[in-house]
Amino acid sequence: MYNQKTWRHVFKLDPNKTLTDEQLNHVCQSGTDAIVVGGTDHVTLDGVLDLLSHIRRFTVPCVLEVSTLDAVTPGFDYYHIPMVLNSQEKKWMMDIQHNAIKEYGHMLNWQELVAEGYVIMNEESKAYQLANCQLPDYDDVIAYAQMAEHLFRLPLFYLEYSGKYGDPELVKRVKAELSHTQFVYGGGITTLKQAEEMAALADTIVVGNSLYTDFDQAIETVAIKHNE
């Protein structure tokens, strides 16, 4: 198994969005540490399988971020299970996961499951709206990070600004709270400069949407790894 703790740069591919085969090859061979498959809208088993079969031709580690049970399939290296800490509904923190374990627990390889403490900061994002989130202030976020590290001892804490570039000051404050829990930042990274700024503060950065809006610039963000 791969050591996720060392991952610095990750691309997230959305099964509901399209890249050409050539672009997908490029993503897989870019030198990124891993590819996460995940999305919010219209995530189907066919879409997930299409991406998986493409990515699996390469050696890059591949993770499914589980958003709907209907689109879960074997074959990924890891399965990230979001627990939305700032959702106002218990179901996004606990019940969906509980139902999944009840139904599939007998066939799961527990080593492949990784719980992510998720805090969604962009009110405009689909994930924020779907999970009926409440916008935390900075002290709230710090307390969530402390819960992830000290109370739940979660492997991952994910500060999710999906579609919006976050506040480096907050990212810095969160990082100061996390040492065992891996700190993942994602949201609005479109340029190498932004990638460098956030990678200097978080353990792992995630680049998603910009692959679909400015592919070449998105690929350039992998250069954070060469400069270290």
Contact residues for ligand 1GP, defined by CB under 6 A: 12, 160, 162-163, 186-189, 206-210
Tokens 């190498």 found at: 192
Q: How far is the CB of 41 from ligand 1GP (least distance, A)?
A: 12
Q: How far is the CB of 105 from ligand 1GP (least distance, A)?
A: 26
Q: How far is the CB of 106 from ligand 1GP (least distance, A)?
A: 30
The CA-atom distances, in angstroms, between 63 and each of 78, 88, 108, 112 are: 5, 27, 15, 9
Give the single-character DSSP code of 87.
Answer: B
64 touches 79 (CB < 8 A) = yes
Report the sign of the C-alpha dihedral through residues 205, 209, 211, 215, in that order.
negative
Q: How far is the CB of 67 from ligand 1GP (least distance, A)?
A: 10
Cβ-proximal residue to ligand 1GP, closest one: 186
Q: How far is the CB of 107 from ligand 1GP (least distance, A)?
A: 27
36 touches 10 (CB < 8 A) = yes
Nearer to ligand 1GP, 179 or 213 (CB): 213
Nearer to ligand 1GP, 101 or 163 (CB): 163
Nearer to ligand 1GP, 101 or 165 (CB): 165
Q: Where are the beta strands (DSSP E) in the chain?
A: 9-13, 34-37, 62-65, 78-84, 113-120, 156-160, 182-186, 204-207
Nearer to ligand 1GP, 28 or 161 (CB): 161
Nearer to ligand 1GP, 44 or 101 (CB): 44
